[in-house]
Amino acid sequence: MKRTIFILWAICIATWAQAQSFQKETIAINAGIGLGTALGGLGKARPAISASVDYGVWDIGGPGVISLGGYVGNTGYRYSSGAYTAKWNYVVIGARGAYHYRGFTSVPKLDAYGGAMLGYNMVRYSSDGEDIALADSYGSGIGLSGFLGGRWFFTPKTGAYAELGYGVSVLNVGITFRF
């Protein structure tokens, strides 16, 4: 499934790929809903939500800009059986850096980018039953992940984005604002 999503996204980027919208000192803010997750999976999932920000820091010459920014996302699961109810809550907070490719000059509405994130996954587990042993098997931790994304601007300041990679979901889609 992840491989299929990645191939479809790469085709979309290649089809749209003729852009240059992200510059040094540009700020882009994303707010989205996640589809699919690598976290949890037991019971009914709450929709994943996330927000991220990128700030263009270095114009590295040629067709690229490096951005630095942050990420925060949340999702959770609830499982009920006759004996107990268990809940998992995940919050991912991270610092990220990205390379925004500006070599596609004929479509200025596209911002194609990829990068890495150093994040902290905070996991909270609770149960109203006698499932104390499971509480110790869920831990928070630090992780390094990658992402690939694109933003399409409908106006000079507003657009849509899609991003593949690890966070609270495998695919995030939503709105983006540029300042």
* Per-residue model confidence (pLDDT) at position 136: 54
| Confidence bin at 15 (pLDDT 50/70/90) | very low
Can you tell me the mean pLDDT for 108-125? 92
> What residues make up the domain containing 61?
2-178
Tell me which of 12 and 154 has the higher pLDDT.
154
* Per-residue model confidence (pLDDT) at position 9: 47
Spatial CA neighbour of 17 closest among 98, 149, 107, 100: 107
Q: What is the DSSP letter of 2?
A: H
Is pLDDT of 120 > 90? yes
* Per-residue model confidence (pLDDT) at position 19: 36
Q: What is the mean pLDDT of the chain?
A: 82
Q: What is the DSSP letter of 175?
A: E
Question: What would the pLDDT profile of 83-101 be if each residue is shown by its tens digit?
Answer: 778 888 899 999 999 999 9
* Per-residue model confidence (pLDDT) at position 73: 94
CATH of the domain at 44: 2.40.160.20
Most confident of the following: 106-110, 150-154, 167-171: 150-154
What is each CA distance from 90 to 9, 20, 40, 77, 134, in whole angstroms?
26, 35, 9, 9, 16
Question: What would the pLDDT profile of 146-164 be if each residue is shown by its tens digit?
Answer: 999 999 999 989 999 999 9
Domain count across the chain: 1
* Per-residue model confidence (pLDDT) at position 11: 43
Is residue 14 exposed (0-12), middle (13-18) or buried (19+ Cβ within 10 Å)?
Answer: exposed
* Per-residue model confidence (pLDDT) at position 130: 62
